[in-house]
Amino acid sequence: MPKVKSLEDLNKLRQQAQQDLKVREKAGTQIIIGMGTCGIAAGARETLHAILDELARRELAANVTTVGCIGMCTEEPLVDIVQPGQDRITYGHLTADRVARLVEEHLVNGRVVREWVVGQIAPSGN
């Protein structure tokens, strides 16, 4: 019988997390994954987990969340990246295998991956 994680392990994690929380509040990157039926069928859940893994591997902080169908079903999986003062970028066909490059270029190098962009909105107040 392998040792299964228990809720008590959480205490250690909690202390560590309180540190990370400060980092994240400063970072302010939001990553939003479309999770309607078409997104799910196209692999959006796997994309989401690939993003979580890649963020963890590179020790990057971002707020990862989901949204329902936005009507671009043929472009799924859809991933939006929102950063303060930057255009909101929507990427299409963002399957799990594209996540490593997306994170490296957009989040680490600050360069939009043009060939995958399907939408771009200027930040409000611009």
Partner 1 sequence: MRELALHLLDVAQNALEAGATRLAIEIEEDLAADRLTISVVDNGRGMDAELLAKVRDPFTTTRTTRRVGLGIPLLTAAAERCNGKVEIASQPGQGTAVMATFQHSHIDRAPLGDVAGTLVTAILAKPELELTYRHRVGEREFVFSAAELREQLGDVPLNLGPVIQWVREYLSENIAALYETDETNASPTSNVESQDE
Ligand X SMILES: Nc1ncnc2c1ncn2[C@@H]1O[C@H](COP(=O)(O)OP(=O)(O)OP(=O)(O)O)[C@@H](O)[C@H]1O
Type of residue at 60:
L
Q: Which is nearer to partner 1, 41 or 114 (CB)?
A: 41
Instruction: Give bridge partners of residue 117 from the DSSP assignment.
Output: 91
Partner whose binding site includes residue 41, from ligand X, partner 1, none (CB under 5 to 8 Å by kind): partner 1
H-run or E-run covering 20: helix 10-27
Tell the smallest beta-carbon distance from residue 77 to ligand X (Å): 14
- 63 forms part of the interface with ligand X (CB under 6 A): no
Parallel, antiparallel or unpaired: strands 79-82 and 30-34: antiparallel
Partner whose binding site includes residue 11, from partner 1, ligand X, none (CB under 5 to 8 Å by kind): partner 1
CB within 8 Å of 28: residues ≥ 6 apart: 63, 83, 84
d(CA 69, CA 90): 13
What is the secondary structure of 6-18 as a DSSP string? -GGGHHHHHHHHH
Q: Which is nearer to partner 1, 75 or 126 (CB)?
A: 75
19-48 residues in contact with ligand X (CB under 6 A) are: 36-37
- 118 forms part of the interface with ligand X (CB under 6 A): no
Type of residue at 101:
R
Q: Where along the sequence are the contacts to partner 1 (CB under 8 A)?
A: 1-2, 4-5, 7, 9-11, 13-14, 16-18, 20-21, 24, 35-38, 40-41, 45-46, 48-49, 52, 55-56, 61-66, 68-71, 73
Q: Where along the sequence are the contacts to ligand X (CB under 6 A)?
A: 36-37, 69
